């Protein structure tokens, strides 16, 4: 009886170790038109590797998908409050994997991160993945690149990237303790819906120059007011 109890305890310990080892690898798949999302992806990869996690980093256009023992990090800039089309297409092509785990990360032009994370989460969950973390990071606004003082100038900053590294370290701790859980609906504040609806109705009627004009985007920023790195873990 004692021998049986010891054997059972050893088996449980080995199972827990195997569960931890299963997620000791990561695939970071990202799209980055201007380099901001790549910068965030590299900060995540660096932090994972420093913690002993084997991390692969690939652009979504390469269509590299996670293996059974990898946690997926999927990154996209915010395009009109949504995933970049190439990232959405990647997620739609992602093989289903019951019990898979994923983390979403995004960059946005210091106006609004929109519904990108909720959109990604819906696709991932349909594919069998639990969304165990999400983080959004301000960056220079892509419609103000020719401006001398664009929204999000100089971002992601050193401080922003340190927040990303801290988020990743906390995620690794949860991986090692086998406490990763689905975070539920990633934050997309309903209070922003009216402002976003107004902007969506106005933007299609503006030229690129008008969209990038100095008065318009700062007004949007005041209406919505997102300017911080925000991460969410289970």
Instruction: Put residue 83 in one of left, alpha, beta given phi > 0 → left and psi -120 to 50 → alpha.
Output: beta
218, part of any domain: no
The number of folded domains in the chain is: 1
Residue 151 lies in a domain: yes
Q: Does 14 have pLDDT greater than 80?
A: no
Checking if the pLDDT of 42 tops 70, the result is yes
Q: Is 57 part of a structural domain of the chain?
A: yes
Give the pLDDT of residue 26: 97
In a domain, 101, yes or no: yes
Q: Is the pLDDT of residue 215 over 70?
A: no
Residue 84 CA to residue 193 CA, distance in Å, equals 20
125, 97 contact by CB (below 8 A) = no
Beta bridge partners of 29: 58, 74
Domain coverage including residue 180: 2-189+226-233
Q: Cα separation of 178 and 158, whole Å?
A: 30
pLDDT at site 20: 45
| pLDDT tens-digit readout, 136-154 | 898 886 655 666 677 667 7
Query: pLDDT tens, 94-129?
Result: 999 999 999 999 998 766 677 888 899 999 999 999
Q: Please list, in sequence order, all residues whose beta carbon lies within 8 angstroms of the beta carbon of residue 198, skipping any fewer than 6 positions away.
A: none
Residue 204 lies in a domain: no
The mean of the pLDDT values for the chain is 79
Residue 212 lies in a domain: no
- Taking residues 49-54, report their average pLDDT: 95
CATH number, domain with residue 151:
3.40.50.360
Is the pTM for the entire model greater than 0.85?
no
**What pLDDT is attached to residue 34?**
85
Range name among 71-75, 141-145, 169-173, 198-202 with the lowest pLDDT average: 198-202
Cβ neighbours of residue 77 closer than 8 Å, sequence gap 6 or more: 31, 32, 33, 34, 36, 37, 84, 106, 107, 108, 139, 142
Is 200 within a domain? no
Q: What share of the chain is helix, strand, coil (3-state, %, to 5)?
A: 45, 20, 35
Are 164 and 202 spatial neighbours (Cβ–Cβ below 8 Å)?
Answer: no
- Residue 135 pLDDT greater than 60, yes or no: yes
Domain assignment of residue 197, yes or no: no
> Does the pLDDT at position 199 exceed 60?
no
């Amino acid at each position: 009886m004692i021998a049986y109890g010891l054997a059972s305890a050893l088996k449980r310990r080995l199972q827990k170790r195997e569960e931890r080892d299963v997620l000791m690898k990561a695939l970071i798949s990202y799209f980055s038109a201007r380099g901001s999302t790549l910068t965030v992806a590299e900060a995540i990869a660096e932090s994972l590797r420093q913690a002993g996690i084997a991390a692969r980093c690939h652009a979504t256009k390469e269509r590299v998908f996670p293996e059974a023992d990898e946690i997926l990090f999927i990154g996209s800039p915010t395009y009109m409050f949504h995933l970049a089309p190439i990232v959405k297409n990647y997620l739609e092509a992602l093989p289903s994997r019951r019990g898979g785990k994923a983390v979403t990360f995004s960059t946005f032009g210091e106006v609004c991160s929109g519904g990108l994370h909720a959109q990604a989460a819906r696709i991932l969950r349909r594919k069998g993945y639990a969304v165990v973390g999400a983080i959004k990071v301000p960056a220079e606004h892509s419609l103000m690149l020719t401006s001398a003082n664009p929204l999000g100038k100089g971002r992601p900053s050193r401080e922003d990237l340190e927040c990303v590294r801290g988020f990743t370290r906390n995620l690794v701790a949860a991986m090692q303790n086998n406490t990763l859980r689905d975070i539920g609906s990633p934050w997309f504040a309903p209070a922003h819906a009216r402002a976003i609806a107004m902007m969506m109705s106005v933007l299609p009627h503006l030229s690129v120059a008008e969209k990038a004009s100095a008065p318009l985007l700062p007004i949007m920023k005041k209406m919505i007011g997102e300017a911080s790195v925000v991460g969410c873990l289970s």
